[in-house]
Amino acid sequence: MKKVVALLLVFAAILVPVFANGQGETVTLTLSEVHAEGYPTTLADQEFARLVNERTEGRVQINVYYGGTLYGEETGSIEALQIGDLDFARVSASPVASYVPALNVIQLPYLYRDGDHMWQVLNGPIGQDMLDEIQASGSGLVGLCYYDAGARNFYTTTPVQGVEDMKGLKIRLQNNPMMVEMVQLLGGNGVTGIGPNEVYSAISQGTIDGAENNWPTYESMGDYEAAPYFILDGHTRVPEILLASENVINKVSAEDWEIIKQCAKETQDYEIEQWALREESSREIVTAAGVTVYEPTAEEIQEFQDLMAPLYDEYGAGYEDLIQEIINTGL
């Protein structure tokens, strides 16, 4: 009799978790984020983890490592996703283009009229096709959703009020050859291989003369203290992407994979709201700290745009119709 009870207990111990989640034990997954606590994308990652935990009734637990503690450089996190060493990473679309070249199209300089235009494109069939392309490309990556990252602008240790002031400046860029070429077209030198958390010290040490980013990163990484000249040239709008490793599909049930994809989509609007708030507060913080913000005239912006135009021929080759469709969206 005792043996039977013992046997039943063993069975129960095995079967209860199996029935509880359809797969076995709770699956613990890891998400890497370069930004600090409280940054809009970090908040969205955490909301994603919370929703997944709630909807899978605890079957899937996602641990968010923010502040670049796992990977300070996004190329490193993308490669870890590809080999299944990491499950999720919230990254900028910029470095992903090295693995999925079509993504360069949605980050060409001066492509969007404004943020609303970009969201119309990303929330429509073009945006979904691009996310699908990430997995279809055989990169081992899955694009789950986009987040807002506003517009990127140059900031430097010396005043820049137009293209002529960019000549000879060493500017840190994301790991994307198109961005390096963009700065070369302006007469500057693009520098890559510096993580966003290292920009402040690279500027302070004089390794670079500046970088380019949005208001929140400029503020949150403290870069404004080292490079206090900010020109609102708005050369690119590069969306953020929440990526999964394709390997996650093997770690969770089919039902939970669908839940994960759905939850990611649902966090997009939340991030956009958080983004708008942070863009405003970051702008206030850096201007109060004495940053010199230069607002170029339409003619001055046109000069940036004209010099960068060759990127459309090179990186837009084969995508001419798509580019036209993007430009026409919302008109």
Site residues (CB under 6 A) for ligand BDP? Answer: 34, 74, 91-92, 149, 174, 196, 213-214, 217, 240
Smallest gap, in angstroms, from Cβ of residue 48 to ligand BDP? Answer: 15
**Among residues 60 and 127, whose Cβ is nearest to ligand BDP?**
127
Which residue from 151, 163, 179, 284 is spatially nearest to 224, judged by alpha carbons?
284
**Among residues 34 and 51, whose Cβ is nearest to ligand BDP?**
34
Distance, CA of 183 to CA of 307 (rounded, Å)? 10
Determine how β-strand 141-147 pairs with β-strand 210-213: unpaired
Length of the chain: 331
Smallest gap, in angstroms, from Cβ of residue 134 to ligand BDP? Answer: 16
* Paired tokens of 221: 């990484």
Distance, CA of 171 to CA of 191 (rounded, Å)? 6
What Cα–Cα distance (Å) separates residue 315 from each residue in 91, 155, 178, 322?
21, 25, 7, 12
**Among residues 56 and 236, whose Cβ is nearest to ligand BDP?**
236
**Among residues 256 and 271, whose Cβ is nearest to ligand BDP?**
271
Smallest gap, in angstroms, from Cβ of residue 54 to ligand BDP? Answer: 26
Smallest gap, in angstroms, from Cβ of residue 35 to ligand BDP? Answer: 6
Smallest gap, in angstroms, from Cβ of residue 68 to ligand BDP? Answer: 9
Smallest gap, in angstroms, from Cβ of residue 184 to ligand BDP? Answer: 18
**Among residues 240 and 279, whose Cβ is nearest to ligand BDP?**
240
**Among residues 21 and 213, whose Cβ is nearest to ligand BDP?**
213
What Cα–Cα distance (Å) separates residue 166 from each residue in 55, 155, 188, 210?
50, 10, 6, 10
Distance, CA of 173 to CA of 98 (rounded, Å)? 14
